[in-house]
Amino acid sequence: MSPDKDYQKFADDAVHTRALEDGISRLRMALFVAALGPLGIGAIRLFNVQQPAAWMKYGILGTAPVGFLLLLINFVRMPAAGKFGKITFVTAALTIAACAGTLFLTRHFSLR
């Protein structure tokens, strides 16, 4: 028997719960990164920045693909018990909505 199978044989609910919570927190990190885009665009509009710097535009626009990639990678790494949970789908939907919102708002406010 391999060491991993021995460990899984004696794993209790606390070990499985910790792995599930770790996976959910990684998905929330993807949501945080994806939400930085619309928040950044809102800050630009709030402070009435006429011509934002190029690094600011690329940084805001870059949050959409980075957030989506983090979502995909962390969903694959998620334990099987939590992949089809309600909180997983809600977090994934909010992340995708934040990515789409970033792309929509950059086009709407001509930040490209």
101's tokens: 């919102």
- Note the pLDDT of residue 68: 97
CB atoms near residue 82 (< 10 Å): 19
Q: Are 27 and 78 in contact (CB under 8 A)?
A: yes
In one-letter notation, the amino acid at residue 3 is P
pLDDT at 10 over 80: no
CATH for the stretch 14-108: 1.20.58
For residue 38, what are the contacts with CB-CB under 8 A and spacing of at least 6?
98, 101, 102, 105
Distance CA 15, CA 20 (A): 9
Return phi, psi of residue 81, to 5°.
-70, -25
100's tokens: 């789409």
- Note the pLDDT of residue 30: 97
- Note the pLDDT of residue 81: 85
